[in-house]
């Protein structure tokens, strides 16, 4: 959205904000809403200034390629929480994934940052204190139970219905209790939109684990009863518990994966969908339900299940004696049959995805994961695939994205139902999409309505 110079200023501003709040973090006990309330006026002021002083400044031209090429690279959206650099990957308010790993509070006794901590950073641009994160975890646990009618709705669905279809339905149905919708019907002022949106977003994030775990048990566990929410546990501690996985390593993995996968700037299909639907003043439940159906596509959130399916087919074909040569042959076979290599390539990134690297580091630190044939195959494929994809010459990014490994680790820990993996992504992506909905209301962003053109109209414009 800005030039390189202003990006650097923004980065260093965010770093300073993060550093200052890091120093304050042990002392502060303000709630997430109070902290957010404090940071909103400065952002509103920044937007007003941008509009009045630079409203007509150009951020680049729009080419025919942009229009027919899925709007790749077109700078056309405001998104506050994260910015994606094609070479270095994602930064959340200026912080890289390793910065976040160092600074964001983990669970008691844990090492990996909590998604609650990431949510705090995304929403406020600040590093929360441990006390603040514990308070937020407690609030989410308090609000985490599903209403009975949603349980009934989910229980009535056939177990053959895709888990993502079920998740989207459950999320949409939660709008029965939407604070934003009720307040809007009463007629609130525009300046109050964000507080009700915030309430809905927190309620939705709180309820996603119970909803997602219920879907899991109905589909894969013959509707076995779920354990209740433990008020002393964090959001993902409860999610792992409700899924029926008591393994602490898996819980830590889920915390890390869900935190770093929570936001990837605004143009990706799920984030953009949430933003577009939210811009109609649809409530957060409906907006995020729509986003989940974008996430359910094979080029987006379904890739993690596709990777595992592809990798298992490769393993079956090449047998136990895996060599680089055999992987190479399989990669070429995939490409020559006109299929994509799942887990490789990206719409924006042009280097290995730092989220992939963070998950690899998680694996490297655990001998059981290092020994796993599935994880070994991920590593060996990474050693070969970029070269093959470069030689193939089509993809602009021959490197792995986060999905090249995310599902494989889940598989190792016994969560073997591939079709469910995108649901976990859906629990994660709520952090970023819902953050932006709150900010869109706080900043009073308008209805999104780009101009479309027919081919004839484009030709006419070119001739003119």
Catalytic residue numbers read 300, 346, 403
In the complex, minimum distance from the CB of residue 396 to ligand COA, in angstroms, rounded to a whole number: 4
**Identity of the residue, 128 or 262, whose beta carbon is nearer to ligand COA in the bound complex:** 262
Given its phi and psi angles, is residue 338 left (phi above 0), alpha (psi -120 to 50 degrees) or beta?
left
Helix/strand/coil (H/E/C) assignment for every residue in 288-304:
HHHHHHHHCCCCCCCHH
Query: In what helix (H) or strand (E) does residue 90 lie, and over which residues does it extend?
Result: strand 89-92
Residue with smaller CB distance to ligand COA, 328 or 366: 328
Residue for token digits 């953009």?
Answer: 272
CB of 255 to ligand COA, least distance (A): 20
Q: In the complex, what is the shortest distance from the CB of residue 342 to ligand COA, in angstroms, rounded to a whole number?
A: 5
Q: Smallest distance, Å, CB 351 to ligand COA? A: 13
**Cβ 381 to ligand COA shortest distance, Å:** 12
Closer to ligand COA at the Cβ: 6 or 339?
339
Measured from the CB atom, the residue of 261 and 441 that comes closer to ligand COA is 261
Angle, vertex CA 23, rays to CA 21 and CA 24, nearest 5: 60
Nearer to ligand COA, 199 or 403 (CB): 403
Listed in sequence order, the residues at least 6 apart from 452 whose beta carbon sits closer than 8 Å to its beta carbon are none
Give the C-alpha separation, 317 to 312, whole Å.
Answer: 9
Q: How far apart are CA 269 and CA 429, in angstroms?
A: 11
**CA 194 – CA 136 distance, rounded (Å):** 18
- Cβ atoms of residues 273 and 301 within 8 Å: no
DSSP label at residue 129: P
Residues that bind ligand COA (CB under 6 A): 299, 303, 335, 340-347, 394-397, 401, 403
Q: How far, in Å, CA of 443 to CA of 295, rounded?
A: 26
Query: Which is closer to ligand COA, CB of 299 or CB of 461?
Result: 299
Question: Residue 90: what are its φ and ψ, rounded to 5°?
Answer: -80, 145
Report d(CA 235, CA 229) in Å as an integer. 9
CB of 149 to ligand COA, least distance (A): 35
């Amino acid at each position: 959205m800005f030039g390189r110079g202003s990006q650097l200023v923004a980065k260093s501003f965010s770093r300073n904000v993060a550093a200052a709040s890091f120093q304050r973090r042990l002392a502060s006990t303000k709630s997430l809403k109070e902290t957010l309330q404090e940071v909103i006026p400065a952002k509103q002021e920044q937007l007003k200034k941008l509009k009045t002083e630079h409203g007509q400044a150009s951020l680049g031209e729009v080419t025919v390629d942009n229009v027919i090429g899925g709007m790749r690279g077109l700078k056309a959206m405001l998104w506050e929480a994260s910015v994606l650099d094609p070479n270095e990957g994602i930064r959340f308010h200026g912080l890289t994934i390793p910065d976040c790993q160092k600074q964001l509070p983990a669970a008691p006794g844990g090492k990996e940052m909590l998604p609650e901590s990431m949510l705090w950073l995304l929403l406020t641009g600040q590093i929360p204190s441990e006390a603040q994160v514990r308070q937020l975890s407690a609030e989410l646990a308090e609000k985490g139970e599903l209403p009975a009618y949603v349980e009934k709705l989910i229980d009535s669905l056939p177990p053959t219905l895709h888990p993502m279809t079920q998740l989207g339905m459950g999320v949409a149905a939660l709008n029965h209790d939407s604070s934003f919708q009720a307040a809007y019907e009463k007629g609130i002022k525009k300046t109050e939109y964000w507080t009700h949106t915030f309430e809905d977003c927190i309620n939705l994030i709180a309820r996603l684990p119970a909803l997602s775990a219920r879907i899991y048990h109905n589909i894969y566990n013959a509707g076995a009863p779920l354990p209740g929410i433990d008020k002393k546990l964090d959001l993902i501690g409860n999610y792992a518990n409700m899924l029926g996985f008591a393994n602490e390593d898996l819980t830590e993995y889920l915390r890390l994966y869900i935190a770093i996968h929570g936001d990837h700037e605004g143009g990706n299909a799920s984030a953009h969908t949430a933003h577009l639907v939210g811009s109609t003043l649809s409530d957060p439940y409906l907006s995020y339900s729509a986003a989940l159906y974008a996430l359910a596509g094979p080029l987006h959130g379904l890739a993690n299940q596709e990777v595992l399916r592809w990798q298992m087919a490769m393993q079956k074909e090449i047998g136990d004696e895996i060599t680089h040569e055999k992987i190479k042959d399989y990669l070429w076979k995939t490409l020559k049959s006109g299929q994509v290599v799942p887990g490789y390539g990206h719409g924006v990134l042009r280097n290995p995805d730092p989220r992939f690297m963070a998950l690899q580091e998680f694996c490297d630190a655990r001998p059981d994961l290092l020994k796993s044939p599935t994880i070994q195959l991920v590593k060996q494929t990474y050693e070969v695939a970029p070269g093959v994809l470069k030689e193939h010459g089509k993809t602009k990014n021959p490197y792995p994205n986060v999905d090249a490994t995310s599902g494989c680790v889940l598989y190792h820990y016994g969560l073997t139902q591939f079709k469910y993996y995108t649901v976990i992504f859906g629990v994660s992506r709520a952090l970023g999409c819902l953050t932006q909905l709150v900010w869109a209301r706080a900043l009073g962003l308008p209805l999104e309505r780009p101009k479309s053109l027919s081919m004839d109209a484009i030709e006419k414009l070119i001739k003119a």
